[in-house]
Structure 1
Amino acid sequence: MFSFKLLLLVTVLTTDLSGTEQTYQDFLHYQTIETGVVSTELAKLWQDPELAGQPYSIMQAASGKQTYLRFIETEKKITRQQPGWTAIEILTQDVDKLEKELNPATNPASPFTIRGPPAWLTDKQNVKAMQVSGPAGELLYLSQIKDPSKMITSNQSTDSYVDQTFIMVAGSADFHSALSFYSEDLGLKPLGPFPYKVAVLADQLSLPQDTVFDLSLIKVTDTFAIEVDSYPKPLPKYSGTIHSISLLADIKEGMKKPAGKKLKSFPYNERSVLMLNGNAGEKIEVILP
């Protein structure tokens, strides 16, 4: 089993790299810290050979935290039999102010689409979030937290107006199989299920707005968690632009280090990388010392 330390990367595909970069700079105050092209070795590891040679940019929140977004330019569309990664949840200090800046109704220059306005997620009123579609078609949950100590990511802090990713969302029409990957293969403990109304998900699945979905939360580190949503019915196929996540990890004592691929580029920095595939279709890089 692994001892996970940090969510290092979230990788998103875009048909317009420069436009996506500019949007994240102008509206979310992210900065580009590295550019390059996808190596043949990395594309092979992903089992996506068509991504070899494609340009990418790695962006960082204004807080300077070492959880990055990597955007890769490609015409490739992600299609799969399982939903895989469906949303990126990012911290903000003021979700109501941010909504006005991202909403085309109040800011015609915004390329974002508001999918759900700011609202408290529960009656406890600890997390207020909105949902938006970004320039690459990615679904973002932008969340403001009152008291991080009450969260599963209890060591969380929001140190810039828009900060880093703290939850990744995956979906599955086979909920228990999806969770078994995290519990049995990775040794993590799923919590729940918790019943929630998720309007964005109901829209996607053409279900009534008041549909209740089961979801589970899985603590990966003190600052990062994974949410798995249960889909009440499968679709013939799924598409999206969120490609994968990358987790920095150590090997637990007594475990033999698995064979991985050493990659030179930032932020791998000559470390060994494994590719895991979850039962919900989600791709996970594990980066080892």
Structure 2
Amino acid sequence: MKQGIIHATLIAPDLQQVCKAYVAQLDLQVQQQGALGADDAAALDLHDLAGAPLAWLANSAGEPVLRVIEDPAAVVGEPMYRHGWLSLEVLVGDIDTLAAALQPPFKVLGAAANLELSDAIRAAQVLGPCGELLYLTQIKAQVPPFDLPTTDATVANTFIGVMTTPDRDASQRAWSTLLGAKGWAFDTKITVLNRAYGQALEGRFPVAVVPMPGQCMVEIDQVELPAAAKVRHAGQYSLALRLPAADDVLLREAGWQVCAVGERRSLRGPAGEHVELLAG
């Protein structure tokens, strides 16, 4: 059974607009439409959205990789200005061709370019129709010590969840406890954040990367931000992970809020990021 990042959840003020955009431009297909069940709403800590319209979007391999839940009251805003989930890093086959063809409601924030980390990784930053940030990333070769996936598909799946935090070390401890791996800490430039904050493009941020099963990772970017308004934001809300079992006591000691929902657990990280742990 597949482990690592299984799917992501977006909150969208307009479900059909998001589905139409992803189908037309990112080669996903609507696999299923329906309503958010009470158990799923509880696992997502979205109790008030039980019964809300939702859609599952699948990639060309038929894998459901994105769940979109409609909340007309959700506030659309760029995610660079609040802590928690920042971006879905999505594996693609040809970033230059894909990014060049994108049109509204997608907005390319940074043209396709090689990462400072390695010329074997090429990515573009794209803002989506409900305020979600996508790092569309092509992996051309392995970059040790990381274990990275590759694809020939137009769009494959999310393989890295990117988050911002006021404290890299605290977030790295939490994620290392959950994933059973310490990972790596370093400083690097993050162009999309430099631009958003009006900083020099050569400026660097404290970053940590923690690996997880299934050739997936979480990236932790430390940034200083003012307190965000306590509203439900549209865009990326949660990542669903399937992982080896972790002890709830250790998770709480590491900074996670843990809520058991049937066979699943709902986690809230030190920076506010939401994680849904799947059974199996």
Considering the TM-score relative to the shorter chain, is it more than 0.5? yes
Q: 1:32 to 1:228 in 2, by over 3 A?
A: same
Q: 1:273 aligns with which of 264, 269, 274?
A: 264
Deviations 1:218-274 (A, max 9, x none): 11114211100011x232216552110111234379x9xx99434xxxxxxxxx210
Matched, 1:37 2:29: no
- Structure 2 unaligned spans of 5+: 250-257
What residue is the counterpart of 1:267 in the other structure? none
Secondary structure at the residue paired with 2:150? coil
Native 8 Å contact 1:63 1:159 kept in 2: no
Native 8 Å contact 1:78 1:243 kept in 2: no
Query: Which runs of structure 2 are paired with 1:101-120 in the superposition (5 Å)?
Result: 101-102=101-102, 104=103, 110-120=104-114
Q: 2:65 aligns with which of 63, 68, 89?
A: 68
Query: Which runs of structure 2 are paired with 1:1-289 in the superposition (5 Å)?
Result: 5-64=3-62, 66=63, 68-74=65-71, 75-77=73-75, 83-102=83-102, 104=103, 110-122=104-116, 124-148=118-142, 150=144, 152-154=146-148, 156-193=149-186, 195-231=187-223, 233-237=224-228, 241-251=235-245, 260-262=260-262, 272-289=263-280
The normalised TM-score by structure 1 is 0.82
Rounded to whole Å, the distance in 2 between the matches of 1:53 and 1:78 is 21
The normalised TM-score by structure 2 is 0.85
Q: 1:252 to 1:284 in 2, by over 3 A?
A: closer
The worse-fitting range, judged by mean Cα deviation, of 76-85 and 179-188 is: 76-85
Percent identical = 26
Give how far 1:206 is off: 4.0
Deviations 1:159-191 (A, max 9, x none): 411111111101101111111101235423221
Native 8 Å contact 2:76 2:131 kept in 1: no
**Matched AA of 1:87:** S
Rounded to whole Å, the distance in 1 between the matches of 2:76 and 2:14 is 16
Secondary structure at the residue paired with 2:146? coil
Rounded to whole Å, the distance in 2 between the matches of 1:49 and 1:34 is 21
**Matched AA of 1:285:** E
Rounded to whole Å, the distance in 2 between the matches of 1:63 and 1:144 is 18
Rounded to whole Å, the distance in 2 between the matches of 1:177 and 1:4 is 28
Instruction: Give the aligned CA root-mean-square deviation in angstroms.
Output: 2.8
* Equivalent residue pairs, number: 265
Rounded to whole Å, the distance in 2 between the matches of 1:67 and 1:166 is 14
Secondary structure at the residue paired with 2:24? helix
Deviations 1:80-133 (A, max 9, x none): 99611110111111111112101x4xxxxx321110001100264100100010
